[in-house]
A = this chain, B = another copy of it.
Amino acid sequence: MVFMPSLRLLAVSLVALLEPVSAIWPAPQSFTKGNSSLYLHPKINVTYNGEPVRRPTSSSSSSSFFLSSSNNNVGGSVGPGYKGLFTKTPAQQQLIYKEDYSATSLSSKEIVHAGVSRALGSIFSRNIVPWMLQPRGKLSEFEPDLYKGQNWIKSLEIDQTAKDAKTSFKPALAAEVSEAYSLTLSVEGDVKLTADSYIGVLHGLETFTQLFYQHSTGTSWYTPYAPVEIKDEPKYPHRGILLDVARTFMPVKNILRTIDGMATSKLNRLHVHVTDSQSWPLQIISMPEVAEMGAYHSSQTYSPADIDLIQKYGALRGVQVYFEIDMPGHIGSLSLSHPDLIVAYDYWPYQWYCVEPPCGAFKLNDTKVDDFLGKLWDDLLPRVAPYSAYFHTGGDELNRNDSMLDDGIKSNDTEVLRPLLQRFVDKQHERIRKEGLTPLTWEEIPIEWNINLGKDVVVQTWLGQSSVKNLTSRGHKVIDSNYNFWYLDCGRGQWLNFDNADYTAFSPFLDWCNPYKSWRHVYSYDPAANLTEEEAKLVLGGELAVWAESIDPIALDTIIWPRASAAGEVLWSGRIDPATGQNRTQLDAAPRLSELRERLVARGVQSSSVYMTWCTQDPTGKSCEYPRV
């Protein structure tokens, strides 16, 4: 079910541009709406492929995944029949998440039923009264009259047109599973959601929730946009966030909340950078010493149950969680438990050996390293493979000088090191493929080291558009994390300490990738710019990077959101608006992103603001447009 907007829809979209845009982030590929109001009935009848979706009850153990990682009810009272779902304490919820839940029970049906319950929860219990999105004091003009002519939405019919493969809960390799959906809502109150896959259904349900607001009385929930017709699918199959949990540990609950935000923004890949030279929080069952010595603290590790929980939580929300163990550089923390495998750990001055302390790289010519990695893969890969299509082996910023300290090499000559690195990469990638996973690697491996990669390997770039061009022109599939646009940690200042002697030279203590990437700047980036059509096809998508030298769980949400949502629209809807053929404008984006931001907050994701209330209270965005004089 792949489609292009029809000419008719194109024409309607052009008309829609003339009126204040509202609702739905990221923008659907085609979207028409009317101006009739419908209320959502708390006892709405939902079917999935003709069968009724069972009523959620709080006592049901399978209600576990109905719940979101937080439960921030800003919307007043909750509709009858739904209250039980949303009254659990966070501790109870956490307990429920931890229940043993075998992978095979994650059927399409279970996933869709859970998605329906979350969607209804988002509408009835975690919704917004949109006074901040309407002109001051004019909310009543936006809200339908509560006491006359109420029309109800009484049914939601979900049809999945293709049967999911048995392993469909294992998120698909890029583009192998359709994420498309269509959603119609008639003025009579009939809703139809159609999709090929359960992932398409989940996206459609998310779109459905974004059509609704809570009435200011707190007792009704309505959409003012009927009739609605939406046909939608993503431009890029890989829409992700890279989360560094090694430099700063991120607790499980923060990762789950990040997944909540991703599902709301139709982002579908969470790349967990789970080890680095600073710490190794990942528990390895067969080698407990690795995390015992390598984690910052015993409270800052991920157990196998944690990993399983995070991946399942993602799978249920259409988010593939995959992991990176960065190597052969960026692995110094392993030296704390296995010093014989590592060179250059905590060597000073660090600049000779790496880009930031404490350095540390694998010995590239030592069978003990092979043995360790064999044991690591045997332990880890079978655990993560059921829920991932990818495994990332890192490969960035390897410093040649490290091998000067390696008794088995004692050289920093590329000609000496390259064959050793080729053998190292081949070996790990081969092992990863055996588990049914596709290897991912940073761009330095093919570009700087000229390592040959298998055709299946996906290359993640960070050094900018020339790297994207370079790699795609050579036939590599690419995930784009251009640091000039999509590094969310940048522009917040140096994290190194400077002695007084260095004050003048380094003031005002800017970091290497200054300035800060505001959502407007994030939104302005087009991964396909300056590429040929053939090259552009090889760009699978992009990832926003959240490196954690200066970010911790407390600031995490405000760092990620709404900026990741801004990139999410570029990756889902495309930088170009098909209705105009031009880049999407901030004027169109800001009001919609403001609405999404309010929804994120209502769902417990602590997003920063888009701009001040003076601006959000103008649905056209023009009150805060820069006027040329």
What is the interface of chain A, defined by CB distance below 8 A to chain B? 131-132, 136-137, 247-249, 278-279, 293, 296-297, 300, 336, 346, 348-352, 357-358, 491-503, 506-510, 514-521, 524, 548-552, 554-555, 557-558, 582-583, 585-587, 590, 601, 606-609, 611-615, 617, 621-629
Are the CB atoms of B521 and A515 closer together than 8 Å?
no
Check B550 against A609 for contact (C-beta < 8 Å): yes
Q: Closest CB of chain B to A333's CB: distance in Å?
A: 9
CB–CB B524/A611 < 8 A = no
- The answer to whether A609 touches B551 (Cβ under 8 A) is yes
A375 to chain B, nearest CB (A): 23
Query: Are the CB atoms of B626 and A497 closer together than 8 Å?
Result: yes
User: Smallest CB-CB separation from A623: which chain B residue?
Assistant: B357
Q: Complex: how many Å from CA A297 to CA B607?
A: 21
Nearest Cβ distance between residue A300 and chain B, in whole angstroms?
8
How close is A622's CB to chain B, nearest CB, in angstroms? 8
Q: Which of B515, B601, B613 contacts A508 (CB 8 A)?
A: B515
| Cα–Cα distance between A612 and B628 once the two chains are bound (Å) | 43
23 examples of A-B residue contacts, CB within 8 angstroms:
A136-B296, A247-B612, A349-B627, A349-B628, A351-B629, A357-B614, A358-B614, A491-B516, A496-B624, A497-B520, A497-B586, A497-B615, A497-B622, A497-B624, A497-B625, A497-B626, A499-B626, A502-B628, A550-B608, A550-B611, A552-B608, A554-B608, A555-B606
**Residues of chain B with a CB closer than 8 A to A510's CB:** 515
Given contacts A357-B624, A502-B626, 20 further A-B contacts (CB under 8 A): A137-B293, A247-B612, A349-B628, A358-B614, A493-B518, A495-B615, A497-B621, A497-B622, A500-B585, A502-B628, A503-B524, A507-B524, A509-B524, A515-B516, A549-B611, A549-B612, A554-B557, A554-B558, A554-B608, A558-B558
- Identity of the chain B residue whose Cβ is nearest the Cβ of A507 in the assembled complex: B524
Residues A612 and B515 in contact in the complex (CB < 8 Å), given A357-B624, A628-B502:
no
Evaluate contact between B606 and A497: CB separation under 8 angstroms: no
Whether B352 contacts A625 by the Cβ 8 Å rule is: no
- The contact of A493 among B136, B493, B519, B627, by CB within 8 Å, is B519
Contact of A629 among B352, B494, B518, B629 (CB under 8 A): B352
Which residues of B lie under 8 Å from residue A502 when comparing CB positions?
Answer: 626, 628
Whether A613 touches B493, Cβ cut-off 8 Å, given contacts A357-B624, A521-B507, is no
Q: Which residues of B contact A558 (CB under 8 A)?
A: 554-555, 558
With both chains docked as a complex, state the minimum distance between the C-beta of A41 and any C-beta of chain B, in angstroms.
Answer: 28
Question: With A and B bound together, what is the CA distance between A626 and B491 in angstroms?
Answer: 18
* Residue numbers in B under 8 Å from A132 (CB-CB): 296-297
Which of B279, B350, B617, B627 lies in contact with A613, CB distance below 8 A? B279
Please, which residue of chain B has its CB at the minimum distance from the CB of A348? B627
| Residues of chain B lying within 8 A (CB to CB) of residue A587 | 497, 499
When distances are taken between beta carbons in the complex, the residues of chain B under 8 Å from A627 are 348-351
Expressed in whole angstroms, the Cα–Cα distance for A93 and B475 within the complex equals 63
Q: How far is the CA of A615 from the CA of B621 in the complex (A)?
A: 43
* Complex CA–CA separation, A499 to B624 (angstroms): 11
Chain B residue contacts of A248, Cβ below 8 A = 609, 612-613
* B-side contacts of A623, CB under 8 Å: 346, 357-358
Chain B residues with CB under 8 Å of A508's CB are: 515, 517-518, 521, 524
User: In the complex, which residue of chain B has the Cβ closest to the Cβ of A586?
Assistant: B497
Q: Are B521 and A493 in contact (CB under 8 A)?
A: yes
Residues of B within 8 A of A247 (CB): 612-614
4 closest cross-chain pairs (CB), A and B: A493-B518, A349-B627, A278-B614, A552-B609
**Residues in B whose Cβ lies below 8 Å from that of A519:** 493
Minimum C-beta distance from A280 to chain B (A): 11
- Minimum CB–CB distance from A15 to chain B (whole Å) comes to 20
**A293, A351, A552, A629 — most chain B CB neighbours (10 Å):** A552
Contact A582 B500 (CB under 8 A): yes
Which of A601, A612, A613, A628 lies at the interface centre, i.e. has the most chain B CB atoms within 10 A of its CB?
A612
CA A350 to CA B627, docked complex, whole Å: 8
Q: How far is the CA of A99 from the CA of B239 in the complex (A)?
A: 51
Q: Are B349 and A629 in contact (CB under 8 A)?
A: yes
A507 to chain B, nearest CB (A): 6
A136 to B506, CA, bound (A): 30
In the complex, which residue of chain B has the Cβ closest to the Cβ of A521? Answer: B508
What residues of chain B lie closer than 8 Å to A582, measured between beta carbons? 500
Query: Is there an interface contact between B249 and A613, defined as CB atoms closer than 8 Å?
Result: yes
Assess the A611–B495 pair: CB atoms within 8 A: yes
Partner of A626, one of B249, B496, B548: B496
B493 with A516: CB separation less than 8 A: yes
Chain B residues with Cβ under 8 A from A499's Cβ?
585-587, 625-626
Complex Cα gap A517–B494 (Å) = 10
Q: How far is the CA of A525 from the CA of B494 in the complex (A)?
A: 16
Q: In the complex, A346 Cα to B136 Cα: how many Å?
A: 14
Chain B residues with CB under 8 Å of A548's CB are 612
Question: How far apart sit A582 and B494, CA to CA, in the bound complex (Å)?
Answer: 22
Residues of chain B within 8 A (CB-CB) of A549 are: 611-612
Kindly list chain B residues whose C-beta atoms are within 8 Å of the C-beta of A293. 137
Give CA–CA (A483, B249) in the complex, Å.
34
Q: A312 → chain B, closest Cβ, in Å?
A: 28
Choose among B279, B497, B555 the residue that contacts A590 (Cβ–Cβ < 8 A): B497
Give which listed residue, B554, B583, B624, contacts A601 with CB less than 8 A: B554
A587 to B132: give the CA distance in the assembly, Å. 45
A21 to chain B, nearest CB (A): 13
Tell me the complex Cα distance, A247–B136, Å.
Answer: 14
Is the beta-carbon distance between A297 and B554 smaller than 8 angstroms?
Answer: no
Most buried by B among A495, A497, A519, A552: A497
Once A510-B515, A550-B612 are accepted as A-B contacts, the answer to whether A626 and B492 lie under 8 Å apart by CB is: no
Which chain B residue has the least Cβ–Cβ distance from A620? B497
A350 vs B137: C-alpha distance when bound (angstroms): 23
Of A136, A509, A629, which is in contact with the most chain B CB atoms at under 10 Å from its CB?
A509
